[in-house]
Copies of this chain bind each other. A is one copy, B any other.
Amino acid sequence: MEGSTVAGSQDGQIASPRRAPSQQRSRERVERMLAAASALIAEQGSDAMRMGEVAERAGVSIGSLYQFFPDKRAIIWALAERYTAESQDCIAASLAEVSDAEGLRRAFSELVDIYYGRFLAEPVMRDIWSGTQADKALRELELADSRANAEFLTAVLRRLRPAADPATLETTALLIWQMGEATMRLAISVGRQEGDDLVAAYKRMALRELVGE
């Protein structure tokens, strides 16, 4: 999860794989490329991001860019992958030690706030998730991420309701997670006040389902 960040061909689509940087120098350059891409996405959105501009801002040639990323989508994918990995650690930590309903209530509520805060604050994450859903590889990454996060939630639910059907719990957890992401996306695309209200309403609904009345 550290050295393999620069992805080659992901997804079913063809996309010639690229070398992973092995030297110190090239690792630093790849970091500069990702930083440049991130900045450009923050400024203008991933759609308007030009490969030439990424190269220029990173201080490398266009050829070097393609030395490590098979195509434009791969850069965006790499950024997205970092964000999700970060989030997952945070989520796993929050939910790991939950052992009762009240604990779940508190942990989940806090998690939603943190997630919402990140959505609001990180223009790149915002752009990638709300904008570039078009990309199949990204959608698959998001689904995998949702499944992983829902799995943490499922684990908690299994502890709290040992009698319940495991498959049902899993479905519930995945649904709640996905709905959360949908709510965030909606919330950041409407006004701030309405967005806050929507997130609060989601939190209420999800908690009702998770810990009952």
Contact = CB atoms under 8 A, between A and B. Distances in A.
Given A143-B189, A182-B182, A189-B139, A205 B175 contact: yes
A194 B174 CA distance: 11
A36 interface: no
Contacts of A174: 186, 198
Contacts of A181: 182
Number of copies: 2
A56 B78 CA distance: 38
A209 interface: yes
Nearest to A190: B143
A134 interface: yes
A133 interface: yes
Contacts of A143: 186, 189-190
Given A132-B134, A133-B134, A134-B47, A197 B171 contact: yes
Contacts of A198: 171, 174-175
Interface of A: 47, 130-134, 139, 143, 146, 167-168, 171-172, 174-175, 178-179, 181-183, 186, 189-190, 194, 197-198, 201-202, 205, 208-209
14 contacts: A130-B133, A131-B134, A143-B189, A146-B186, A167-B197, A168-B201, A172-B201, A174-B198, A175-B183, A175-B198, A175-B202, A175-B205, A178-B183, A182-B182
